[in-house]
Amino acid sequence: MTLAQLWAEVLGTEVPDRTTRFFDLGGNSLLVSLLWARLTDRFDLPLAASDLYEYATVAAQAEQIRGWFSGDGRGALAVELSDGPEPVVACVHGMSGNVYYARHLGNAVKQRVIGLRAVGFEGEHDPLTSVEEMAAAYLSALEAQGAVGGLCLVGYCGASLVAVEMARQCRSAGRRTTLVLVDPELWGEEARPAGLDELYREQLAFVAHRAGLTEWDDPAPLPRARGQLFRRLQLMGFYPRAFTEQQFDRQLRVSGEAAHALARYRPQPRLAVDAHLIFTQERLDEQFGGDLAAVRGPWASLLGGLTLQRVPTAHLEVFEQGAAPGMVGAVVDAFAARR
């Protein structure tokens, strides 16, 4: 059975071509779960159900399958999320190394949306160890996808500074950019964990929290704690049967290397680029006492014309609500109109 035939069986309709998105053919979250089960049984892939929101066409899924079977476990660095005209909307991964959040932008912007995953997230390639390296690699991946014009760079959470560095490199090359940073964080040496074990425990606690395991606090030695959490998450359906503890460990390593790189990064001051900072009410309350104006000081020394906006939602839900994707869409429309 071909991949297109498997899709047709799950959807109950013919698949007209390899580039039509699953959700445009009547797919929904229930059918995503069914397709994930069929794919993992048919191909024995290290694929999470949430990955199907990124690889939402037959062509994108076929590319991933070829990559896994050819031994290149990295998969695509630049993931096509939706098609459309320029300027391209390039979404940099969060601290998890993946770009699940960006799937919600596909319906909010009419431009082409590309997600940028971290190197080393899926395969045996070593994670990149500096923000400058990450930015250069992601810009090269975009160029390989034909994205050579103006860029709207979207950064999320702790890895937002990677988008800032990409904008700096674009500026040096004379390339037009605009920045949208959602709940961004400024790092310093004080934010860097003392050692890898401490960092792993922080990452384990974060993953457990994302999975709703708010009571998780395992005092066991690190390898056993990691294994216990992984098995629990797998039983809950967060990871497919083909996904291994080694791959789970690799995800933690990617996040860890990113944290170390961000803590060492010292961006050049006053980058002359339009920057739009969107903060959730939850993050404003936690970091700035709920005062949006207090954000300007720390970021004004780094970026040029700042626009600040507030979204009345929680950090982990910011892209699932209509407000933030709509704000990104408005920025992209304004950027495109200035060409």
pLDDT score at 170: 93
Q: Highest mean pLDDT: which of 117-121, 164-168, 208-212, 227-231? A: 164-168
Mean per-residue pLDDT, 245-258:
77
pLDDT at 70 (0 to 100): 41
Which token pair is 159?
Answer: 């890895």
Task: Look up tokens 């940073």; give the residue.
Answer: 181
Residue with the bigger pLDDT between 160 and 68: it is 160
Best-predicted range by mean pLDDT (149-158, 181-190, 209-218, 252-261): 149-158
Q: Is 91 left (phi over 0), alpha (psi -120 to 50) or beta?
A: beta
Cα 275 from chain centroid?
19
- In whole angstroms, give the CA distance from residue 328 to residue 180: 7
Q: Is the pLDDT of residue 202 over 80?
A: no
The mean pLDDT value for 302-309 works out to: 87
**DSSP summary character for residue 74:** T
Q: How many whole angstroms separate alpha carbon 107 and alpha carbon 190?
A: 39
Residue 181 has pLDDT above 90, yes or no: yes
150 near 175, Cβ under 8 Å? yes
Q: How far is CA 180 from the centre of its chain?
A: 14
How high does pLDDT run on average in the chain?
78
Q: CA gyration radius for the chain?
A: 20
| Residue, of 118 and 166, whose pLDDT is higher | 166
The string of pLDDT tens digits covering residues 46-99 is 566 667 777 788 888 777 665 544 434 344 578 777 778 888 999 998 877 777
pLDDT in tens, 293-303: 998 888 888 88
Over residues 30-51, the pLDDT tens digits come to: 888 888 777 766 655 556 666 7
Closest of 168, 177, 156 to residue 278, by C-alpha:
156
